[in-house]
Amino acid sequence: MNIDAESDQRGVSQTTDPTKAVLSNSALHHKNLCNYVINVATGCTHGCKFCYVPSTPNIKTRGDMLKERADVEDSQREWGSYLLYRDDLPERLARKLDRKQKWENEDGGRGVVMISSGTDCYQDRRAAQITRGCVIELVNHGRPVRILTRSPAVVRDLDVFKAADGLVTVGSLIPCLDDEQVRSIEPGAPAPSTRLNALEEISNAGVPVYVSMSPTYPTQDREDLREQLRIFKERLDPDVVFHEPINPRGGNFEMTVQAARDAGQEELANELEKLRDRDNWIEYSKRQLTAVEEIGEELDIPIHLWPDKQFVKYVKEGKEHFKRQIEKNDSPEDYPLGPTSA
Distance separating alpha carbons of residues 218 and 225, to the nearest angstrom: 11
Percent helix, strand, coil in the chain (nearest 5)?
45, 15, 40
Least separation in angstroms between residue 318's CB and ligand SF4 is: 28
Least separation in angstroms between residue 48's CB and ligand SF4 is: 3
| Of 182 and 282, CB closest to ligand SF4 | 182
Residue 109 interacts with ligand SF4 (CB under 6 A): yes or no: no
Least separation in angstroms between residue 141's CB and ligand SF4 is: 26
Cβ atoms of 304 and 240 within 8 Å: the answer is: yes
Residue 257 interacts with ligand SF4 (CB under 6 A): yes or no: no
| Of 158 and 255, CB closest to ligand SF4 | 255
Least separation in angstroms between residue 191's CB and ligand SF4 is: 13
DSSP for residue 265: -
Distance separating alpha carbons of residues 85 and 70, to the nearest angstrom: 12
Residue 120 interacts with ligand SF4 (CB under 6 A): yes or no: yes
Distance separating alpha carbons of residues 123 and 8, to the nearest angstrom: 14
Contacts of 43 (CB under 8 A, 6+ apart): 70, 79, 80, 82, 83, 84, 119
Residue 51 interacts with ligand SF4 (CB under 6 A): yes or no: yes
Residue 178 interacts with ligand SF4 (CB under 6 A): yes or no: no
| Of 97 and 127, CB closest to ligand SF4 | 127
Distance separating alpha carbons of residues 239 and 296, to the nearest angstrom: 12
* 53-72 residues near ligand SF4, rule: CB under 6 A: 53
Candidates 48, 66, 174, 176; binder of ligand SF4 (CB under 6 A) is 48
Strand ranges, E, within the chain: 6-7, 13-16, 24-25, 36-38, 41-42, 82-85, 113-115, 145-149, 168-173, 209-216, 241-245, 303-305
| Of 44 and 295, CB closest to ligand SF4 | 44
Residue 248 interacts with ligand SF4 (CB under 6 A): yes or no: no
Candidates 29, 31, 46, 286; binder of ligand SF4 (CB under 6 A) is 46
| Of 53 and 168, CB closest to ligand SF4 | 53
* 130-169 residues near ligand SF4, rule: CB under 6 A: 150
Cβ atoms of 199 and 207 within 8 Å: the answer is: no
* 268-297 residues near ligand SF4, rule: CB under 6 A: none
Binding site for ligand SF4 (CB under 6 A): 44, 46-48, 51, 53, 118-120, 150, 189
